[in-house]
Structure 1
Amino acid sequence: MPVKLQPGMTIGGFTLVEPLHEGGMSRLWSVTHPDHTMALLMKLPRIDYGEAVSQVVSFEVERMLMPMIDGEHVPRYVASGEYEDQPWLVMQRMHGETLQPLLERLPLAAERVAAIGAMTALALEDLHHQRVVHLDVKPGNVLLQADPRDGSERAVLLDFGLSHHADLPDLLAEQFHVPMGTAPYIAPEQVLGVRDEPRSDLFALGVTLYQLATGKLPFGAPAGTAGMRRRLHDEPPAPRQLNPAVPRWLQEIILRCLEVDPDRRHASAAQLAFDLQHPDQVPLTSRADRLGGRGPLARALHWLSALGTRATIERKKAVATRGAPLIMTAIDLKQTNRALDDALRDMTTRIVQTAADSRLACVTVLRVARIGIEPTLDIEGRSRHVKRLIALRDWARSLPLEEHRITFHVLEASEVADALIDYARSNRIDQLIMGARGVTGVRRMLGSVSSRVVAEANCTVTVVRAGRESAAEQAPGPEPTESKPASEQ
């Protein structure tokens, strides 16, 4: 069963004091440690029956990213690890209140909206300078904290499970092909799969400011991708149409944040903060005076313009260049051939070390039923997905690679070969390494996973064979490594 958390329990040297919050994706506990005097918070992802795999991957993203960021606008990273297949992350506990309670007292005065917006924009600017895009800016992820020295406020950004770091692998983009974000706040380019645009955070902040100023969400709360795509061509009602007390300068700023084309938003979070801090210097355009809906011709022109913007965004995404070669090693965690494991690790090490800037993705496939709901827990009550993540880490522990150059992925599919081929294609893998097990009668008739991958993957594929197969495999003696060059695809 999942770990039952209780006050006084010790996890990774940290003592659980009291539960602070239990949400749909994680549990938050106050914890203490003899080596730390500051207030601490432990975050544990929910891995109960029926929980989405994306929650585990999102937690892995946050655990990988948190040590890379610092400053007064983010919680300080402390430690992370696993406890009986339960991942955990400890960080500084930030005191203050998020913007969420303010939603009960809307609309706010324009001056307060601007002040909150400026503080949040400055926090985003600091984050963007650290090469991170938050990608989930919303009232619940912005905390206002008073400076104990002078009482001044600053914004602190929370929850980096959907974030993207320019120098780290994007696990969410590699493993999932659906928009990742909170539906009412997600930017148009995120809906199209773009996750490296800092101005996506300005769009989400614009949605938040719109909500604080009017009491309404500009695009509602769509339940699916089709609803989120409507923001690519639909204009929201003007803030002043919903709340006449909204000044023209604030409407100008908010609607500029909500432009479909990122190039038409503020160039940076710092520029947005400047406008919010100096309303008398905001250049006013037709945005400031918009009240009613546009006429049919104007709507048609806007729709055509949005189509052009969408095409541009998708083209930029398609031609985006990768910074380093991607190597993928497919690992069968169920096979027990130690010689094959050693050969696979040796080949992986040699290939990755030939390129100093390469990155390795260790991948395994969790087979699921074609039809029906697959249980997320095994017969012992442990998360099947998390168990395999931990096993992948153990498999790769001896590889001589820096932590930032290796990632771990558990794919869920009914067909192993299909999952590996799709992952390699969608992530533009340069070279795929996998082991070949012995030639059994079934494999002779139906073909092996490795033979399908060699035939269909659009990258170089290296198939490793052990010098000596196990008796259970009924395989012949030593065979050379097989490789399909990229030029033969």
Structure 2
Amino acid sequence: MERPQTGSVIDGFTLTERLKAGGMATLWRASHPEEAAPLVLKIPFFDPGDDVSAILGYEAEALIHRRLSGPHVPRFVGAGDLARTPYIAMEYVAGTSLAETIRRAPLPATEVTRIGEAVAVALADLHRQGVVHLDLKPENVMLTGNGAVLLDFGLAHHAELPDLLGAESTMPMGTAAYIAPEQVLGERSDPASDLFALGCVLYQLACGEEPFGRPQTVAGMKRRLYHAPKPLRAVDPAIPAWLDEIVRRCLEVDRGRRYAEAGKLAFDLRHPEQVTVSRQRRGSRPRGLWQRLVALFQKRDAQEITGAPTQARRKAGPSIILAAVDLSAGESPLAGAILAETGRLLAAREDSWLACVTVLRTEIIRETQSVDAEGRSLYIKRLVALKDWARPLHLPEERVSYHVIEAVSAADAILRHSERNDIDHIVLGARSSSTLRRHLGSVSTKVVAEAACSVSVVRVKGGAEE
């Protein structure tokens, strides 16, 4: 893809002015002959060798943003083809970035509550649409004459869509200064996480300090699980007690004590006279110091620490089928046979989801090649090939996800992905028999032997060439 510049035309969108560049994308003012309103094109960076989270974030944002509506999100206009030029086109939102406003902090309590109420109303609307933002911060909020508009859904989670980012990693995803405790532990589905982030923003607006600083490590982010920030009134005694109480409730580690709904938070900010101020801070951190420290490093204790519903296996929900296909040499008879078997299983249960997986082999000794002879990303090429392979199934977006896993061992990658994402059934192919394979084993043999779910092994008559 050529580097965009002023005057470039992408799918009919003309770039007129470069707005800014973030860590993952550039933003451009744009126009289109079929759109009267001013537009913005968000064009992500996909440099070969970079972390694939940028690609996953783009895919997730395009899936989620197109389903959002209302006055608190930019109107979605279109998205680019990953195989050509990826972009997200949306309406241009005129207003003031909360990042600019927060530079004037500390602000008067009346202004803090006005801004907080506007953001809480926007979050309530987002949550009603089944989406948790998971990266609420001043840079992702625009203040307009009609309230607040939320930006950037690259880390968001939609209740009815596959969680592309969560499926690939258990590492914390979010901005260190605002990330919620349960996000640090890998939980990505609770709207209360956005209210914790808003509490961090309110704290910063009220006193000019970030409640947890900007930790650079996971261990530093985990401190918020057991180390409470200094109360607002301890920083500035002039801050009203009711505002201190509202912020404290936002920043509770125990989600049973945190605000559960953005609408309730907006109501309290709108009616501070009705906020009941606690005489003393109730203990919101779990148990004794040693137990807390132990719990921090044991994912199984996430529910006990934060009240989080851990990602338990869905016994009665939709089944998830994982189809593992080798596309390193392009389409093949075995890939076609896997597709046919996958289609049969999906037809048997129409509420099932499909996770399409292909493994991009990495090297142990020498450097792994990340681009082809023409300089194109091998990851993106494989992702596009995986989508092309699954296209004949005609599945709606909410029933299918695509995963290119970089790994040395294909079998280990399939098993790890299956365990992490509660896969119910695996479909994969088996190569033809050989003396070497009988001695060393095969991908299918290892997956069948070690998978915690049922497995279908597909072969092609007369042997497979893969």
TM-score by length of 2: 0.92
Task: Please report how far the alpha carbon of residue 370 of structure 1 lies from its aligned counterpart in structure 2 after TM superposition.
Answer: 3.0
Residues 196-222 of structure 1, C-alpha deviations (whole Å, 9 max, x = no match): 111111100000000111111111111
Equivalent AA in structure 1 for residue 241 of structure 2: R
Task: Please report how far the alpha carbon of residue 417 of structure 1 lies from its aligned counterpart in structure 2 after TM superposition.
Answer: 1.0
Give the match for residue 335 of structure 2: 341
Cα distance in 2 between the residues matched to 1:414 and 1:204:
38
Q: Which of 212, 216, 221 lines up with 1:219 in the alignment? A: 212
Task: Please report how far the alpha carbon of residue 7 of structure 1 lies from its aligned counterpart in structure 2 after TM superposition.
Answer: 2.4
Cα distance in 2 between the residues matched to 1:353 and 1:40:
41
- Equivalences for 1:82-481 in 2 at 5 Å? 82=81, 84-146=83-145, 153-286=146-279, 311=304, 313=306, 316-319=309-312, 321=314, 323-336=317-330, 338-370=332-364, 374=368, 376-469=370-463
Equivalent AA in structure 2 for residue 177 of structure 1: T
Cα distance in 1 between the residues matched to 2:270 and 2:339:
56
Task: Please report how far the alpha carbon of residue 430 of structure 1 lies from its aligned counterpart in structure 2 after TM superposition.
Answer: 0.4
Cα distance in 2 between the residues matched to 1:336 and 1:382:
16
Task: Please report how far the alpha carbon of residue 319 of structure 1 lies from its aligned counterpart in structure 2 after TM superposition.
Answer: 3.6
Deviates more, 1:349-358 or 1:321-330: 321-330
Task: Please report how far the alpha carbon of residue 109 of structure 1 lies from its aligned counterpart in structure 2 after TM superposition.
Answer: 1.0
Task: Please report how far the alpha carbon of residue 79 of structure 1 lies from its aligned counterpart in structure 2 after TM superposition.
Answer: 1.2
Give the match for residue 62 of structure 1: 61
Task: Please report how far the alpha carbon of residue 407 of structure 1 lies from its aligned counterpart in structure 2 after TM superposition.
Answer: 0.9
Cα distance in 1 between the residues matched to 2:103 and 2:284:
36
Cα distance in 2 between the residues matched to 1:321 and 1:313:
21
Deviates more, 1:374-383 or 1:243-252: 374-383
Q: Root-mean-square deviation (CA), in Å?
A: 2.4
Do 2:286 and 2:305's aligned partners in 1 also have CA atoms closer than 8 Å? no
Give the match for residue 484 of structure 1: none
Do 1:48 and 1:377's aligned partners in 2 also have CA atoms closer than 8 Å? no
Equivalent AA in structure 2 for residue 109 of structure 1: P
Task: Please report how far the alpha carbon of residue 347 of structure 1 lies from its aligned counterpart in structure 2 after TM superposition.
Answer: 0.7
Residues 244-302 of structure 1, C-alpha deviations (whole Å, 9 max, x = no match): 32111110101110000111012310110111111111111135xx7xxx9xx999967
Cα distance in 2 between the residues matched to 1:223 and 1:156:
28
Cα distance in 1 between the residues matched to 2:13 and 2:163:
29
Task: Please report how far the alpha carbon of residue 16 of structure 1 lies from its aligned counterpart in structure 2 after TM superposition.
Answer: 2.1
Task: Please report how far the alpha carbon of residue 14 of structure 1 lies from its aligned counterpart in structure 2 after TM superposition.
Answer: 1.9
Residues 415-473 of structure 1, C-alpha deviations (whole Å, 9 max, x = no match): 11111110001111001111222234432332211111111111111111123546x56
Equivalent AA in structure 1 for residue 271 of structure 2: H
Percent identity of paired positions between Structure 1 and Structure 2: 47
Do 2:253 and 2:305's aligned partners in 1 also have CA atoms closer than 8 Å? no
Do 2:319 and 2:353's aligned partners in 1 also have CA atoms closer than 8 Å? yes
**Matched residue pairs, number?**
458
Equivalent AA in structure 2 for residue 427 of structure 1: N
Give the match for residue 14 of structure 1: 13
- Indicate the SS of the match to 2:238: coil
1:143–1:340 CA distance, 2 compared to 1 (3 A): same
Do 1:132 and 1:165's aligned partners in 2 also have CA atoms closer than 8 Å? yes
Task: Please report how far the alpha carbon of residue 173 of structure 1 lies from its aligned counterpart in structure 2 after TM superposition.
Answer: 1.2
Task: Please report how far the alpha carbon of residue 320 of structure 1 lies from its aligned counterpart in structure 2 after TM superposition.
Answer: 5.9
Unaligned runs of 5+ in 1: 147-152, 474-489
Task: Please report how far the alpha carbon of residue 167 of structure 1 lies from its aligned counterpart in structure 2 after TM superposition.
Answer: 0.8
- Indicate the SS of the match to 1:162: coil
Do 2:140 and 2:152's aligned partners in 1 also have CA atoms closer than 8 Å? yes
Task: Please report how far the alpha carbon of residue 32 of structure 1 lies from its aligned counterpart in structure 2 after TM superposition.
Answer: 1.7
Equivalent AA in structure 2 for residue 383 of structure 1: S
Task: Please report how far the alpha carbon of residue 404 of structure 1 lies from its aligned counterpart in structure 2 after TM superposition.
Answer: 1.6
Deviates more, 1:421-430 or 1:432-441: 432-441
Cα distance in 2 between the residues matched to 1:378 and 1:99:
42
Task: Please report how far the alpha carbon of residue 134 of structure 1 lies from its aligned counterpart in structure 2 after TM superposition.
Answer: 0.8
Cα distance in 1 between the residues matched to 2:313 and 2:265:
27
Deviates more, 1:37-46 or 1:316-325: 316-325
Equivalent AA in structure 2 for residue 339 of structure 1: P
Cα distance in 2 between the residues matched to 1:350 and 1:74:
39
Do 1:260 and 1:309's aligned partners in 2 also have CA atoms closer than 8 Å? no
Cα distance in 2 between the residues matched to 1:314 and 1:280:
29
Residues 327-373 of structure 1, C-alpha deviations (whole Å, 9 max, x = no match): 11111111346322221111111101111110001111112233687
- Indicate the SS of the match to 1:365: strand
Equivalent AA in structure 2 for residue 335 of structure 1: A
Do 1:234 and 1:303's aligned partners in 2 also have CA atoms closer than 8 Å? no
1:212–1:453 CA distance, 2 compared to 1 (3 A): same
- Indicate the SS of the match to 2:447: helix
Cα distance in 2 between the residues matched to 1:220 and 1:37:
43
- Indicate the SS of the match to 1:343: helix
Cα distance in 1 between the residues matched to 2:232 and 2:20:
34
Do 1:339 and 1:467's aligned partners in 2 also have CA atoms closer than 8 Å? no
- Indicate the SS of the match to 1:262: coil
Task: Please report how far the alpha carbon of residue 80 of structure 1 lies from its aligned counterpart in structure 2 after TM superposition.
Answer: 1.3
Do 1:337 and 1:469's aligned partners in 2 also have CA atoms closer than 8 Å? no
1:468–1:13 CA distance, 2 compared to 1 (3 A): farther
- Equivalences for 1:66-85 in 2 at 5 Å? 66-82=65-81, 84-85=83-84
Do 2:83 and 2:381's aligned partners in 1 also have CA atoms closer than 8 Å? no
1:163–1:154 CA distance, 2 compared to 1 (3 A): same
Cα distance in 2 between the residues matched to 1:267 and 1:119:
17
Task: Please report how far the alpha carbon of residue 51 of structure 1 lies from its aligned counterpart in structure 2 after TM superposition.
Answer: 2.2
Cα distance in 1 between the residues matched to 2:82 and 2:171:
31
Do 1:85 and 1:382's aligned partners in 2 also have CA atoms closer than 8 Å? no
Equivalent AA in structure 2 for residue 20 of structure 1: L
1:442–1:97 CA distance, 2 compared to 1 (3 A): farther
